Each structure stands twice: as C-alpha cells, then as structure tokens.
A and B are shown apart, each in its own frame.
Chain A
Amino acid sequence: MAFDAGFVRTLETLNVLARRLMTFETRADRPSPKRGASIEFADYRSYAPGDDIRYIDWNVYARHGHLFVKEFTAEENVHVSVILDVSASMAFGSPPKIDAAREVAAAVAYIGLVNFDTVSVYTMSEAVRAEKQFLRGKGAVFAMLEAIDGAKPGTRTDFRALAAPIQRLKGRSLVVVVTDFYDRAYAEGIRALLSQKHQVHLIHVVAREELEPPERGRFFLVDLETQREREVTLGADTLERYRKRLREYCVELERFARDHELYYSRVRSDEPLERRIRDILRGGGILEAR
C-alpha cells in the first residue's frame, strides 16, 4: 500500500498525547515528573547541603525561618513504540485488516514524529522485529512509512515475544499495539510491557466479515495462522454462538484494559481512516485533535 498526500494531511491534524509524563533524554513539549530546569514551578522541598542556593526561596525563609528550595518541571519528549501485528490472521477481510492496521500505525507514528517524539516501528507475529528505531523529526516520516509499508507478513501471533525488544529501551515508552488479538496469551505479553513501566495502548482491529460471517452451509474452516481445518455447518444457531464468543472476547479485552489502566480502542477495517482515528480518539489517551 502507499500513503498519499491526503493521508499525510489528515495525520497533521492529530497530536499524540501521553497520558502519563515520561522521561527521555532530550527536550520535548511534554512535562516530565522528573524535576528539571524549566521555568515552570513544580514544588518546594527542604534544603539539603549541595543544593543550588539560587533556588532557595528567601521569602519563605523570611516568613518561616526554614530553608526551602524551589523545584521546576523538566520538559521531556516521548518515545513512541508502534507495534504492528503482521500475522497471517491480519490478512483476513475485505479490505484486509493489515491495511487498516498499517494506516493506524502510520498515523500514530506520524503524529509522534511531527511532535518531536522519538518513534520506533516494530512488527509482531511469531516474533517481534524492529523495522525502524529512534526516528525523530518530520524528516523521518518517509522512512517510517516505508518501514510500515514494507513490513513482511508473518505467520502466527505470539504476544509473549513482545517484551524482549522493548526491554532494551532506556526508560519508559508509549507502546501502541495494533493487532487483532488472536492469541490467548496476549495478557502475558502486555503484562511484560507494563512491568517495564511502559504505557501501553491497545488498538484492536476487526474485519466486518469476522463480526458477521456472511456464509451459510457446510464448510471446512481453515485457520489462516495455523492452516488447521475444522468442519462446521454454519447455520443460525452456530453463527449466533460464534458471535457470542467473539463478543465475550471483546468484553474480556476491554475488562483487561480497564483493570490495567490501559487505553483500548476497537476499529473496523472497512471503515475510513478518519472514522478509525475518531474511534481511537473517543477511546481517549493516545490521540487528541488539535
């Protein structure tokens, strides 16, 4: 797929916001919980030997007789890690879920770049592979798009592989996972990310054909990831049972996200990008219209 100029203009209207303040080595537009040398006052603390006496608040000393030093917030930028699920199951649907996932991943990464965030692009299937790392600035947009567009499809989804590449990052990162979640071990992988203090955002991509299978009759269902087959007669009862299972799985994902204070959004692959981004915005946390 190719990202056109209109797509890029759409992305320019969006901004990435981190729900939590995160540290990184270079300055950026987001406040950090780490105290620094900016002009924005953050708090007082008792003076300790070695503190810079320029920061002692003499007015407070005059009123209370104790030495307090002023602290200021340090302005930091965010490392946005976009993890794109390229397993075989993402090829399902019309249009394929992988196309929609690429667009969403590109949008998130683009917004990070234009806001002076550091962006890394990873693909995930049976293993997680770093496509491009530590991209910065608008000039890296095309490299990012090329990395996303050129990601090679894999076979199975394995969330347990998530932790390893991200672990190598210094400090915490905003990790955006764009996937169809067809791995029951998703919780294990996500928890590994959380254990490293990363902020995790989950974007669940579903195809219309998944939600409403259009076929009726007797079929050998073939798993796109495992190529395993299962004989099923698709009738009203069977399809209702399937829909129920899928609904329950979505509810389970939502509950998991809520329990771990994650952002979770579900988007449909057949909807326009703007709509998908709006859905994600409504989910809150990752993107906000400027």
Chain B
Amino acid sequence: MSFAYPKALWLLVLALPIVLAHFYRGRIRRLHVPTLLFWDEVVIEEERASALKRLRHWLTMILALLALALLSTALADPTVRGITPEVREIAIVVDTSPGLGAREADGRTRLELARERARGLAAGLYRRSPVALYDAGGVVEPPTTDRERLEQALARLPREAGDAPLADVVASARAAMPAASIYVFTARPFAPPDANVRVVPAGTPRPNRALRSPAQSGATVGATAVNASDAPADATLVVRDRGRVLAEEPMRLGPRESRVVSKTVGAKDGAFVELALVPEDAFPRDDVAHFVVPPAAPPAVVVVSRGPPDPHLMSALHLMGARLKSIPPAEFAETRDKLGAEPVYVFDRVEAPEIDGGVLAIGAGDAAAEVQGPRILDWDRRTPVNRLVDWSDVVVRRARVLKGMPLVVSDRGPVAVWGRTMGRAWIRFGFGFGVADGDCALRPSFPIFLQGAIAWLADEGRRAFPREARVGDVVVNAAPLPEGASEASVTVVSGGATQTSSVPIDRGEARIAIVHPGLVKIAVGARTEWLAARLESSPDLEKLPREQGVALPEALPRWRDVPYSAVAGALVLLILLVEWWLYQSRG
C-alpha cells in the first residue's frame, strides 16, 4: 500500500484524544437523597441493561476511530495493490487517412467506428490512467486523465493538418510515452513495431458478396448479385448442372452494387442448376443459389388403341408438339419395358392398367354404368388440368359414370375423374373424344385442356413435394406417398458436399426440415424427387460481422472506478449519523 499524500496520516494522532475522551468518566459527585429505596431497584434494572450500554460505549468509540481512519486515509489517497485499479499509460492513434472516410454497411464511416471504439477504450480505463490521442498530424491531446478533454479531442478528428505515415505517428507516440500501450485504430494493414502496440481494425476490411432473391421461370434462373463491400469486387458467375459447368461469366461489382443476373438453361430433359459466385468470400453460404429446372422438351406420349387412334386426339397432341407414338394394346408391355415410366400413356377406349407414371384413359369404365345423354353440371376448377377450360356447354351423347375424385360431373354422376399418388398420376374419362360420343374434341379449348392434362401427367402430377423451398421452411408432402413406406431418405447436395438423413413418415406425412441451401433429393421407396433449397434473404449479409482484431482491455467495473475519497466520505457521513443516533438513544 502506498499513499499519494502520506502527511495526511498525521491526522491519526487525533485517535488519542478520542480514546481518552471515551475512557474519561468525569468527576463523580455526591448527591444526597432521602432514601435509596427506589434507586436500589433502579440500579438493578440499570445493571441488567448495562451490557447494551457498555456495547454502545465501545461502539461509539470504535465508530469515531473508524471515521478518523477513513478521513485521514481518504486525504492520504491510498493505492492498494490488487484492489486499487492499475494505472496504465495509453496512447490512442487514430488513422485519419482518407480510407477511414469509407462508409460501412450501417452507414457510418470507418473513422466514426474507430472513434467509437477509442471512446469505449477510454471509458473502460481507470480514471487515473493517462490517455493521449494521436492522429496522422501528430499529437491531438497530450496524456490526460480528463476524459472530457479526451472526448473533445476525439470529436475534433479528423483534423486537416498533417498526413504523416502511420508508422511515424506510432513512433512519435512511443518516444513520448515509452511505457504506454499504444492502440492503433485503422482500416489498413499495419504491422505493429512492438508487442505493446495493438492494431484495432476499424470497419470491415473483407469483401462480402451474395446472391439474393433467387427466382426461376421455366428454364430461366436468376438472382440478384450484391456487393456489400465499399470496395469493388471481382467475381465470376458460374452456372453448373450436376457439377458440369454450363457457363462462366466474369463480372465486376461496384461498391455496394446490386445487379440482377439470369441464365436460361437449355436442358430438354431438365436440369439441376447451381448459380455460384466464385471465388468464395468470407461468407460462402449466400454465394450460391440452386434450381430444379423441368424438362424443356415436350413430353413423350404413347397412345394405346385397338384401331387407329381418335383423329381429334392425335391432332391435338400433334399441335402441342408431343413426341407421339401409337401402339396396339398387345405392344404395351414391350413398349413400357423399353420406355419406362417417363412417357404419358394415353389409352384410347382401351382399359388402362395401374402403372407408375402418367395415364390418360379415355372412354374407360364399366360398360354397365353407361348412361345416355348426360348433361354436364360442374367441374373441378381447382385442378391445374382444368385451367382455362369451360365444360359448361360440352355435349356428351353417352358416357360411363366413374368412381373417384370428380373432374367433370354430369347430372348422372362423375363422367371424368382424376387422382395421384407419388409417382402415379391419372385422368379417366367415361366418354371418348370422337364425335360419336360428343362434341368435346370440337371445342376450341380442347387442345388447351389436353396440353394442360399431358403436362400435369408428365411432371407435376407425379410430384409429392414442391419443386422449391426456402431454408428454414418445413416441407410436407402435398400428395399421398406410396403405401407401406415408413421413411424418406433426404440427401442435400451443395457444391461438392453431400449430406443424407432419414425422415420418418407418420400417418402418410413426411415433414422435412430444410436446413441448408442446396439441391435436396427426396427418395421414398423407388420414387425420387428433387427440390431446390434456397436462401431467400442473406442473414450473413445483413449482419455484416466485422473482424475483431485485438481485444480491447476489459472495461473496468463502474464500482471499481469510484474514488476512495467518495466512498470514505459517504462512510464517515453514515458513521456520524449512527453516532448521532447512539447519542440520542443513550440512557
């Protein structure tokens, strides 16, 4: 322990008169009383209470001595190792070069950030620690313990005078304060000359790019390329399909520039596209966007009929550009083996089997359920198959009433039904499209209906899960999954990394949490679907985390910076109050 003003300790000699005063009991006088009859009883009571009196007597003296000790030590201004905070010399060097004028994502300049961090550094120091402030012009404020002056000096930055190299400023600070810790606030690379010089980065020095708001329209995919840095950023936009590079486009993004980029992928059989900005930056998570592109080519259609297919049907299929193949029922099995489930099979007045893939059955149904001249009353307008189609005036001369989810309803019952499970989509009509069965094929909306129906049977109708999902969402199957399946295998492909997990199917429902951006392969039984998981927004970009650099000294707790004299003064005041109370309550 040491004292700034040890002479103040001489006040402690006042303890002697205090002790003497407490032990001096004064002259005891003699007083005649008529009798001690009552005084004897009073004294006995007094003696019972004398322990408390003695305690009060000692307490009064101890408190008085304590008050004197506090007062004298407060005036002597003690420093106690381990208790009194350490006095440290600090030099703050703020780089005021033009680079510090650059604005950060939050709108503040790097100089403002540097000033704020310097202010935080000074505020956390012991009040007796002298702090000096330097900038490119040299000394702004010599070492001072007056935080108000330092604050004013910080507010004066940047000064116009001076543009010395940072190393020279640090050297002059070191010369003026050899034992000081020097903190350099800069956005530039700076090599500290000694271990007691610490560099505190101001601003975000690393580039940060991102692809935001990915969007897809058919085979065209795109996103908004963003440069969150205040410096220009060079990058290459790479388009990949299953790892194969489809295109590379160098681009230069200006400071804080946003630019929409898009690419049309000519994949007639569909594609799994990845848009990426390379090289990766510090936050690669938002540099990539994924897309599942449906096949660009018209679907293959196999028409199964006993004789020549219905010319109206064939004509409409030709019009929509379908790759057509017409076969008799006897060749169906062979064709199926050859082409698999990919084509849409149209059964023209031929009984359709239960198969995977898309099936359009025309003129199907139980012959016994045939009705004459049914009048169409209603149709399911929600299904994509009936989009832009009006069935109200269609004439049906004869039809078979079907069972299932109604697509078209007559006054005699459903005459067209539809349904889907995972990998299986079908539409059944109870009447044919020939003129003998009605005028359906003669209607202008017939090709539109047929195109929508074939497209749905070829792709959308076979999916149970959506084609796109956002990271953070939970994807649930919208169509029934294959019966008997108890779990779905989920594989996320992102860049070169693959991550597989299993999701249980509970009461026909698979809930898949989308955690990572990428292409997600969902396999249930023998069926497989792909979906693109994307970052709609870019949390990393919003946060703009900054490089921490060196850790600033931990701020001193407020209570440790309270002057001892203030604490001692408050305690002396409290002691005086207690003494006063003891005096008032004495017997």
- Tell me which of A92, A207, A217 contacts B26 (CB under 8 A): A217
A236 to chain B, nearest CB (A): 7
Q: Count A interface residues, CB 8 Å.
A: 37
> Can you name the residue of chain A whose Cβ is closest to the Cβ of B32?
A222
Are the CB atoms of A232 and B32 closer together than 8 Å? no
The docked-state distance in angstroms from the alpha carbon of A93 to that of B35 is 12
Binds B, one of A33-41, A60-68, A242-250: A242-250
- Whether A241 contacts B36 in the complex (CB less than 8 A), given A218-B28, A219-B30, comes out as no
A180 B587 Cβ-Cβ under 8 A: no
A232:B43 contact, CB within 8 angstroms: yes
Question: B331-360 vs A: 1/0 string, CB under 8 Å?
Answer: 000000000000000000000000000000
Instruction: Give the docked Cα–Cα distance between A180 and B587 (Å).
Output: 29
A242 to chain B, nearest CB (A): 5
Please tell me if B553 contacts chain A, counting CB pairs below 8 Å.
no
Q: Could you give, for residues 71-115 of chain B, a 1 whenever the CB lies within 8 Å of some chain A CB and a 0 otherwise?
A: 000000000000000000000000000000000000000000000
B32 contacts A238, C-beta separation under 8 Å:
no
How distant is the Cα of A232 from the Cα of B587 in the complex, in angstroms?
12
CA distance A219 to B45 in the complex (A): 17
B34 part of interface (Cβ distance < 8 Å): yes
B34 and A182 form a contact (CB under 8 A)? yes
A89 touches B42 (CB 8 A): no
Complex Cα–Cα for A245 and B31 (A): 19
Interface presence of A13 (CB below 8 A)? no
What is the chain A residue whose CB lies nearest that of B46? A238
Quick check: B36 and A220 within 8 Å, CB to CB? no
Residue A210 is within 8 A (CB to CB) of chain B in the complex? yes
Question: Would you call B244 an interface residue if the criterion is a C-beta within 8 Å of the partner chain's C-beta atoms?
Answer: no
- Give the residue of B32, B39, B587 whose beta carbon is less than 8 angstroms from that of A92: B32
Interface residue? B40 (CB, 8 A): yes
Q: How distant is B43 from chain A, measured CB to nearest CB, in Å?
A: 6
With known contacts A184-B37, A235-B587, A224–B32 Cβ distance under 8 A = yes
The answer to whether the Cβ of A225 comes within 8 Å of any Cβ in the partner chain is yes
Judged by a CB distance under 8 angstroms, whether B156 is at the interface is: no
Most buried by B among A182, A218, A221, A225: A221
- Decide if A225 touches B29 in the complex (CB within 8 Å): no
Q: Are A230 and B40 in contact (CB under 8 A)?
A: yes
Q: Are A92 and B34 in contact (CB under 8 A)?
A: yes
Q: In the complex, which of the residues B26, B28, B32, B45 has the most CB atoms of chain A within 10 Å of its own CB atom? A: B32
Q: Is A4 an interface residue (CB 8 A)?
A: no
Asked if A237 is an interface residue, CB under 8 A from chain B, the answer is yes
B575 to chain A, nearest CB (A): 23
Interface membership of A261, Cβ < 8 A: no
Instruction: Assess the B42–A241 pair: CB atoms within 8 A.
Output: yes
In the complex, the answer to whether A245 meets B41 with C-beta atoms within 8 Å is yes
Binary B-proximity of A65-97 (CB < 8 A = 1, otherwise 0): 000000000000000000000000110110001
CB of A231 closer than 8 Å to a CB of B: yes
Q: Does chain A have a CB within 8 A of B25?
A: yes
Name the one of A213, A215, A223 contacting B35, with C-beta atoms under 8 angstroms: A223
B581 in the interface (beta carbon within 8 A): no
Q: Which residues of B contact A231 (CB under 8 A)?
A: 28
Q: Which residue of A lies closest to B26 (CB)?
A: A218
Per-residue interface assignment for chain A, residues 90 to 118, with 1 indicating a CB less than 8 Å from any chain B CB and 0 otherwise: 10110001000000000000000000000
Complex Cα spacing A232 to B45, Å: 11
Q: Flag if B39 contacts A180 (CB, 8 Å).
A: no
**What A residues does B25 contact at CB under 8 A?**
218
Nearest B residue to A237, CB-CB: B587
B41, A225: Cβ atoms closer than 8 Å: no
Which interface residue of A210, A225, A233 has the most chain B CB atoms within 10 A? A233
Find out whether the CB atom of A219 lies under 8 angstroms from the CB atom of B37: no
Determine if B28 and A220 form an interchain contact, defined as CB atoms under 8 angstroms apart.
yes
Complex Cα distance A233/B30, Å? 12
Contact A223/B33 with A232-B39, A238-B587, A249-B38 known, Cβ cut-off 8 Å:
yes
Scoring A93, A180, A220 by chain B CB atoms within 10 A of each residue's CB, the highest score goes to A220
Please state if A89 and B46 are interface contacts (CB–CB under 8 Å). no
Given A230-B40, A231-B28, A242-B38, answer yes or no on A221-B587 (Cβ-Cβ < 8 Å): no
Q: Does A168 contact B (CB under 8 A)?
A: no
Is residue A226 within 8 Å, beta carbon to beta carbon, of the partner chain? yes
Q: Whole-angstrom distance between the alpha carbons of A92 and B31 in the complex?
A: 11
| CB-CB under 8 A for A89 and B38, given A218-B29, A236-B587 | no
Min Cβ gap B30→A in Å is 5
Residues of A contacting B29 in the complex (Cβ-Cβ under 8 angstroms): 215, 217-220
CB distance from B26 to the nearest CB of A (A): 6
A contact residues around B49 at 8 Å (CB): 237
Partner of A228, one of B28, B36, B38: B36
B38 contacts A232, CB within 8 Å? no
Chain A residue nearest to B28 (CB atoms) is A218
Q: Taking the nearest CB of chain B, how far is it from the CB of A270, in angstroms?
A: 14
Cβ < 8 Å to A, chain B residues 1-34: 25-26, 28-34
A230 touches B43 (CB 8 A): yes
B558-587 contacts to A, CB under 8 A, are 586-587
Mark out the residues of chain B between 480 and 504 whose CB falls within 8 Å of any chain A CB in the assembled complex.
none
In the bound complex, what is the Cα–Cα distance between A213 and B587 (angstroms)?
15
Given A235-B586, A235-B587, A237-B587, A230:B30 Cβ within 8 A? no
Q: List 17 A-B contacts (CB under 8 A).
A: A89-B34, A90-B34, A215-B31, A217-B26, A221-B32, A221-B36, A223-B33, A225-B34, A226-B36, A230-B39, A232-B42, A232-B46, A237-B46, A237-B587, A241-B46, A242-B38, A249-B38
Q: A220-B28, A222-B32 are in contact. List 11 more A-B contacts (CB 8 A).
A: A92-B33, A93-B34, A217-B26, A218-B26, A218-B28, A224-B32, A225-B34, A237-B46, A237-B587, A245-B38, A245-B41
Give me the interface of B with A, judged by CB distance under 8 Å: 25-26, 28-43, 45-46, 49, 586-587
Using a CB–CB distance below 8 Å, which chain A residues touch chain B?
89-90, 92-93, 97, 180, 182, 184, 207, 210, 213, 215, 217-226, 228-233, 235-238, 241-242, 245-246, 249
Question: What 7 pairs between A and B have smallest CB-CB spacing?
Answer: A237-B587, A89-B34, A245-B38, A92-B34, A182-B35, A219-B31, A223-B36
